[in-house]
Amino acid sequence: MSGGPLTGGCQCGAVRYRVEVELSNPHLCHCRMCQKAAGNYFMPLAGASRADVVVTRGEPGWFASSDIVRRGFCADCGTPLFFDPLDTDTILVTLGSLDDPSRYVPVSEDSVESRIRFVPHWPGLHQKVTTDDFGPEEIEAIRASNHQHPDHDTEVWPPKEGRA
């Protein structure tokens, strides 16, 4: 692997990981789920085979943001670490959690239809809308199984069965 070992972890050090290969498809995701998971306007991600990402210290906490994706984070400090699509053998790491986040330059911006209006596009990056990667059935499956809190106050959370 060029550039030495690829390692990363959370802010407090309770969870550390190593990636055995170079990451693929470094990108900035603007989807609303990534915005909320990152607490930011977008989330930088890149992927590798699940078998090539090894947790070397601690155990991440997991949140099922939908029925088909879970997100790994440090349960102690809250650092977002992983985006894990359950029906693939790929897991994505948050590029900001790498020990050297400058190692990967994004090649695209994804879900640009959800970009915050005052965040300009990054020159030279491919601009992808969600439908470039997902078909209508997949988009509906994500929408229908979304487990994140809505973007407004609620009296009760999680909702009782049959209530949104």
Q: Count the alpha carbons within 13 Å of 30 in the hemisphere toward its beta carbon.
A: 20
Please give the pLDDT value at position 164.
Answer: 47
CA distance 109 to 43: 10
Query: What's the confidence (pLDDT) of residue 150?
Result: 65
Give pLDDT, residue 128.
Answer: 72
The mean pLDDT value for 27-48 works out to: 95
- The pLDDT value recorded for residue 149 is 56
pLDDT at 23 (0 to 100): 98
Q: Are 23 and 8 in contact (CB under 8 A)?
A: no
Q: What is the pLDDT of residue 134?
A: 66
Of 142 and 25, the one with more pLDDT: 25
pLDDT (tens digit per residue) in 106-123: 999 999 999 999 998 877
pLDDT at 163 over 50: no
pTM of the model: 0.79
Domains of the chain: 6-144 (3.90.1590.10)
The least confident of 3-17, 104-118, 131-145 is 131-145
More confident position, 138 or 121: 121
What's the whole-number average pLDDT of the chain?
87
Q: What percent of the chain has pLDDT over 90?
A: 66
